[in-house]
């Protein structure tokens, strides 16, 4: 897809210093839209959730959604922002089919929340991400390009528009430029979005499903020669739709821009698209000519003036935030901050917590999510949370192991079945016949066969070379295809080989 030349990532850092920045759009989970009473339910028939207000028909008048304003203030408070005592909505004028009004109602020079910060941790080091602003606006409709192979407008026969999404409250969270992360820049970007997502979840303001577009990220990246007093020209990679992709997008842009700068080329200030399949970016619209949006204060809406008492109440009622919660959970689970950081980086805190809540021990829950399940997510190229297994199912699997029904190896096979959609762990164990063999006739026969088949080894054990028994256990496990319990097999062998 991309013919860009790339510099090795480690080499980039020998000559250049990256600066990143993130703009995150969060669709709020309010029942109705930002300026009208239309429903916001995801996945409804196209254009069934519209009205004269969100379609911008003449004579219709908007009314701001109080719950959306409250949610935005709560996000601002959780990020340590200053909350405006008075601010207005503005019209951002542009013509595009997905915006039926001919303008987007947003906030321009009077955002609701400003000057916050979010601390993120990468490899034991804390990076402070300054938040420039958090403002409230409305989402656009969705264009659907039909007839082409890519779903993009290029090559399509015709385009359809669904206005169900138009007017859904959208919060934009903009960071200040983040310098100084060096080689960790891709991970800091990912850690920031991960932490932000956790906060939004804790606040309960959005479903934050990246795959449904509830949370969309634009990632800015620039490079400057080491020691340079000026920052380089940045590119803006649009709609990066998974946590993993945030990291990949920064990494790719750093490698691509280094190659451009190495040949005395110029990095263009432009919008780029990220491609999930190849992990590359390609140019979109050029930002050489800044669009004049002719912003002006929205005349149809009254200013927003949150009074101090209300904001104080909202601040006092904020839930336990993820950072504080992690400290508490580390304590409850008896793990170190470093071990907690591994869980955070793997996006596994909630998953482990839910697995523990479903009855598993913290140690077992961590072992499965960070071990086998992390490996499978990595192989599948997805985030841990996107795996087709629930924390309750993982707890069930762990229960089957501790109850002696299956061992770790059989559990991995049971997991295959769960991930393939064959049902819950117990169901798969039953259907695939995975239960550990008890001291059945079949197992007795396998043990006897192992002794008969390996007389030399058996003699060694009889002669006192106890560790040689491992080879016999292995032989039994092989004939029983892993279904026997190794400890039971060992005990049975010992009983037969002990010289009395
Ligand atoms: Zn409407």
Query: DSSP alpha helices (H): ranges in 289-440?
Result: 308-316, 322-333, 337-345, 349-357, 362-370, 372-380, 391-402, 408-419, 425-432
Share of the chain above pLDDT 90, in %: 60
d(CA 485, CA 411): 12
Quick one: pLDDT at residue 290? 57
**Distance from the CA of 164 to the center of ligand 1, in angstroms?**
8
d(CA 360, CA 216): 33
**Distance from the CA of 162 to the center of ligand 1, in angstroms?**
13
Does residue 404 carry a pLDDT above 50?
Answer: yes
**Distance from the CA of 43 to the center of ligand 1, in angstroms?**
16
Sign of the CA dihedral 253, 255, 256, 262? positive
Q: Is 480:446 a contact under the CB 8 Å cutoff?
A: yes
**pLDDT, tens only, 170-191:** 999 999 999 989 999 999 999 9
**Distance from the CA of 159 to the center of ligand 1, in angstroms?**
22
Computed over every residue of the chain, the mean pLDDT equals 90
**Distance from the CA of 99 to the center of ligand 1, in angstroms?**
13
In the structure, what pLDDT confidence band is assigned to residue 500 with cuts at 50, 70 and 90?
very low
Give phi and psi for 231, each to the nearest 5.
Answer: -80, 155
- State the average pLDDT over residues 384-390: 90
Does residue 145 carry a pLDDT above 90?
Answer: no
**Top-confidence range, 17-31, 203-217, 430-444:** 17-31
**Distance from the CA of 44 to the center of ligand 1, in angstroms?**
14
Quick one: pLDDT at residue 34? 96
Quick one: pLDDT at residue 287? 53
**pLDDT, tens only, 305-355:** 999 999 999 999 999 998 899 899 999 999 998 888 888 878 899 899 999
In the structure, what pLDDT confidence band is assigned to residue 1 with cuts at 50, 70 and 90?
very low
Q: How many Cβ atoms are within 10 Å of 497's Cβ, its own excluded?
A: 19
Whole-model pTM: value is 0.76
**Distance from the CA of 112 to the center of ligand 1, in angstroms?**
23
**Distance from the CA of 138 to the center of ligand 1, in angstroms?**
11
Does residue 276 carry a pLDDT above 50?
Answer: yes
**Distance from the CA of 67 to the center of ligand 1, in angstroms?**
16
Give phi and psi for 169, each to the nearest 5.
Answer: -60, 130
Quick one: pLDDT at residue 167? 95
**Distance from the CA of 37 to the center of ligand 1, in angstroms?**
6
**Distance from the CA of 253 to the center of ligand 1, in angstroms?**
39
**pLDDT, tens only, 62-78:** 999 999 999 999 999 99
**Distance from the CA of 86 to the center of ligand 1, in angstroms?**
26
d(CA 284, CA 272): 5
In the structure, what pLDDT confidence band is assigned to residue 85 with cuts at 50, 70 and 90?
very high
């Amino acid at each position: 897809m991309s013919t860009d030349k790339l510099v090795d990532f480690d080499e980039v850092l020998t000559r250049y210093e990256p600066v990143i920045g993130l703009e995150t759009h969060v669709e709020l989970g309010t029942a109705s839209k930002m300026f009208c009473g239309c429903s916001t339910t995801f996945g409804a028939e196209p254009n069934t959730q519209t009205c004269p207000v969100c379609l911008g028909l003449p004579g219709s008048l908007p009314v701001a959604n109080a719950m959306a304003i409250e949610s935005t203030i709560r996000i601002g408070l959780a990020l340590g922002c200053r909350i405006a005592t008075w601010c207005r909505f503005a019209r951002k004028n542009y013509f595009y089919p997905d915006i039926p009004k001919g303008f987007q109602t947003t906030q321009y020079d009077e955002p609701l929340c400003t000057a916050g910060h979010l601390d993120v941790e990468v490899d034991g080091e804390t990076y402070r991400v300054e938040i420039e602003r958090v403002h409230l606006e409305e989402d656009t409709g969705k264009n659907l390009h039909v007839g082409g192979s890519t779903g993009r407008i290029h090559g399509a026969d015709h385009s359809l528009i669904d206005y169900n999404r138009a007017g859904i409250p959208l919060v934009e969270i903009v960071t200040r430029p983040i310098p100084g992360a060096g080689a960790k820049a891709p991970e800091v970007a990912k850690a920031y979005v991960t932490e932000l997502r956790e906060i939004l979840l804790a606040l309960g303001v959005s479903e934050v499903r990246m795959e449904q577009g509830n949370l969309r990220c634009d990632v800015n990246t620039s490079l400057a020669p080491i020691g340079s007093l000026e920052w380089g020209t940045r590119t803006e990679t649009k709609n990066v739709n998974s946590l993993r992709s945030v990291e990949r997008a920064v990494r790719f842009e750093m490698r691509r821009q280094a190659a451009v700068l190495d040949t005395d080329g110029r990095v263009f200030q432009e919008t780029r698209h990220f491609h999930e399949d190849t992990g590359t970016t390609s140019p979109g619209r050029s930002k050489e000519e800044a669009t004049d949006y002719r912003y002006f204060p929205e005349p149809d809406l009254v200013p927003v003036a949150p009074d101090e008492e209300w904001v104080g109440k909202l601040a006092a009622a904020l839930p336990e935030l993820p950072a504080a919660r992690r400290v508490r959970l580390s304590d409850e689970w008896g793990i170190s901050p470093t071990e907690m950081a591994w869980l955070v980086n793997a996006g596994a805190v909630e998953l482990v917590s839910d697995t523990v809540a479903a009855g598993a021990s913290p140690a077992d829950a961590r072992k499965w999510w960070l071990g086998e399940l992390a490996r499978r997510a990595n192989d599948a190229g997805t985030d841990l949370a996107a795996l087709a297994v629930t924390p309750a199912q993982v707890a069930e699997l762990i229960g089957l192991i501790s109850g002696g029904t299956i061992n770790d190896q059989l559990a991995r096979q049971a997991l295959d079945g769960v991930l393939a959609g064959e049902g819950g762990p117990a169901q798969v164990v039953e259907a695939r016949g995975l239960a550990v063999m008890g001291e059945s006739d079949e197992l007795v026969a396998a043990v006897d066969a192992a002794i008969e088949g390996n007389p030399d080894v058996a003699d060694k054990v009889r002669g006192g070379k106890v560790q040689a028994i491992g080879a016999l256990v292995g032989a039994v496990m092989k004939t029983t295809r892993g279904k026997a319990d190794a400890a039971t097999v060992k005990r049975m062998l010992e009983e037969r080989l002990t010289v009395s």
